[in-house]
Amino acid sequence: MAGLSQQQLLRQSQKLSPQQIQRIKLLELSTPQLEERVKQEVEENPVLESEEPTQHQEEQPKKISVDEYIDQQEARSWKGHPSTWDKNAPAPDANIFEGESMREFLMRQLGYRNLTDRQKVLAEYLVGSIDDDGYLRRDLASLADDVAFSLGVETSAAELEGVLNIIQELEPAGIGARNLRECLLLQLRAIKNKTASQNVAYRIIESGFEDFSKKHFEKVMARLGISAGQLREADEDIRHLWPKPGNLHEGRSGDGVGYITPDFILETSGDRQGLSLASSNLPELRINHRYIDILNRANSNGGDMTREQSEQARQFVKEKIDAAQWFIQSIRKRHDTLLRTMQAILDYQKDYFRQGDMTKLRPMILKDIAEATGLDISTVSRVVSGKYIQTNFGTIPLKQLFSEAIATDGGSEVSSSGIKHILALAVEDEDKRTPLNDQQLLDILKAKGYNITRRTVAKYRESMKIDVARLRRTL
């Protein structure tokens, strides 16, 4: 008979308190998110009161638009699109009212259509299924099942197709498309009095989309019987279409522009640098002294309150005061941790932050900064994730500063971000009629002393969302 044995295991586990979890979550917030979190806390806790920052406090961080930020970054491509869209082309007029969601805008337009009650119900369901990019990603058969289950209305894919056709006639053109090809066709179809090149563009998307998207231009010309000049003019028209019609509405409130707000401000004057948190919009928090007086009265059982009322008031106010004090301490702790981490990054990357030269960026991983600050790697990760620093040479995402090491022929190590920067510049300056392939990009890097493989070039190119040479080719 096999003997029985007992084994005692000693396990050590750490359970985080709600306050510790709150402190961790505060670290993850960007500056705009923190401002909203503070407003929420002030609204929910009557003991907390805030004082708006005065003009002599920290300088207002410079907000930059998404387009400005993109222009500051390395050259990017429209991956998955049949051509290199011109991001500077004017967006089609959608005539969307301020503060109105895309769904409300579409439903308002449908209100002017002569729809039956049944069509209105189905149209509303379809509109609600359109994603933020303006596409209807799910197939109509599945949506018909959902309508039956959710609304108790029996319908078919064919009936939904008819209602979808009505939605696709609305503004912005291309809304409700099920794929990019249909989106472009809808936009071209909506153009009244098309030019000759726009008619050719419609034929290209309708009959030669796959070859056109793969840059097989010779096949497109042969299939449609058009010349290189006609293809070039049609390509220009296609590049001025909008691949994501839902984005025409995104962020169009107030001045209508989406912004990136930096979390740190780095001011450089000669060899001197000044680092600060971009928290000028963050109000000063303090405890409302009226509640401390209430607590003191409750502790002394003063006033007209009964003993039970006094105890209830004391307990309520004490909990709110404790929560307010902890929140204020957590905000201060967040500030200290962010500045401590960012200063360590500045010290580590001092050559880069002098002029913003990407080739001066040292290899750096989270562990390097964790060791420099004495913080956990997870804490450093939370600090840098989704955060930006405003510098004299642009607004930089902190994640961009972290990269692996690559050896040079001279035996030194360089940052992979520096190599990516060189690749981006090479692709930006290439002749788009004969783009550089990976071997040619590798030759450029090797000429500069970077000892990497062609496979590594391909990996970096893909991570930067740069297409292969054939797909970067233009007419």
Query: How large a percentage of the chain has pLDDT more than 90?
Result: 34
Q: State the average pLDDT over residues 32-46.
A: 86
CATH code for residues 403-472? 1.10.10.60
Per-residue pLDDT for 138 more than 80?
yes
**Residue 82 — pLDDT band, cuts 50, 70, 90?**
very low
- Give the model confidence (pLDDT) of 97-106 as tens digits: 444 678 888 9
Q: Give the least confident one: 213-217, 338-342, 420-424.
A: 420-424
pLDDT number for residue 106: 92
**Residue 79 — pLDDT band, cuts 50, 70, 90?**
very low
- Give the model confidence (pLDDT) of 298-352 as tens digits: 666 555 666 776 677 778 878 888 888 888 899 999 999 999 999 999 999 998 9
Q: State the average pLDDT over residues 172-196.
A: 93
Q: State the average pLDDT over residues 175-193.
A: 93
Q: State the average pLDDT over residues 369-378.
A: 94
pLDDT number for residue 388: 92
- Give the model confidence (pLDDT) of 405-415 as tens digits: 776 665 566 67
pLDDT number for residue 81: 41
pLDDT number for residue 25: 86
CA pair distance 85, 78, nearest whole angstrom:
7
**pLDDT averaged over every residue in the chain:** 80
Per-residue pLDDT for 59 more than 60?
no
Q: State the average pLDDT over residues 46-71.
A: 59
- Give the model confidence (pLDDT) of 222-250 as tens digits: 999 999 999 999 998 998 898 888 876 54
Q: In the chain, where are the structural domains located?
A: 18-59+261-357+365-396, 102-248, 403-472
Q: In the beta sheet, which residues pair with residue 394?
A: 391
